Amino acid sequence: MLTLDDIKRSPAIKTYVQSADRVMQAMKFTEHGFAHAGIASHVAAHILSALDYDDRTCELASIAGYMHDIGNNINRYDHAQSGASMAFTLLSQMGMDPDETAMIVTAIGHHDEGSGGPVHPISAALIIADKSDVRRSRVRDKADINIDIHDRVNYAVTDSELEVFPAEKIIRLGLTIDTRICPVMEYFEIFLSRMLMCRKAAEYLGCRFTLDINGTKLL
């Protein structure tokens, strides 16, 4: 059975994660490389593990999280679908079982808010893990915070934490935003559709999604 370690050791996958991030850098997007892949991988598995899914399902979520943005190699537009096609080829070549490959390509193919939505638990966990990765270290050049709202909002987030409360059936994203850098409204300007997608994903997992910013519950 393919593990997350096998995926991380694959020279081809390493290359595609790296080169996809170079494309994002050239297009002035925030960091989409190993750090984002690692966080999405870890958080997706954590969500399912906290909700008592079996170990293999959690590991498949971590693999989907690690590979979810490789489609940016081809183009940002439709990167979820192109990434799913790339993952299909890579995982098939590595000998993954078709049932498991299907779960992963479906999760990757449905992670973007433009065209996706939660279709199974791994897909739901990936959506929440991906959309909640907002942090200062995703900004490549501090100078860009004056001209780009995505850089400004990410830079303003000084702390973020995703917590799962299985007994209460709550998935909570807590953010600390430095409002001297950007008003909370700017966060919603770019993240509202992503937060609504998180809400749907949490509901798919039988939970409620809550968003706290600077100690105030907003969703």
Note the residues at the interface with Fe ion (CB under 5 A).
69, 130
Q: Which residue is nearest to Fe ion (CB)?
A: 130
Handedness of CA 123, 124, 127, 129 (dihedral sign): negative
Contact by Cβ (8 Å): 41, 100: no
- What gap in Å lies between CA 42 and CA 154, rounded to an integer? 20
CB of 41 to Fe ion, least distance (A): 11
Give the nearest distance from C-beta 80 to Fe ion in angstroms: 6
Nearer to Fe ion, 43 or 171 (CB): 43
Task: State the minimum distance, in angstroms, from the CB of residue 180 to Fe ion.
Answer: 27
Helical axes 184-204 vs 121-131, angle rounded to 10°: 170
Report whether 104 contacts 71 (CB < 8 A). Answer: no
- Closest CB to Fe ion among residues 59, 69: 69
The vertex-44 CA angle with 132 and 144, nearest 5°, equals 30
Which residue lies nearer to Fe ion by CB, 59 or 130?
130
CB nearer Fe ion, residue 136 or residue 208? 136
Smallest separation (angstroms) from Fe ion to the CB of 187: 17
| Min separation Cβ 215 and Fe ion, Å | 27
Distance CA 211, CA 37 (A): 22
Q: Which CB sits closer to Fe ion, 130 or 151?
A: 130
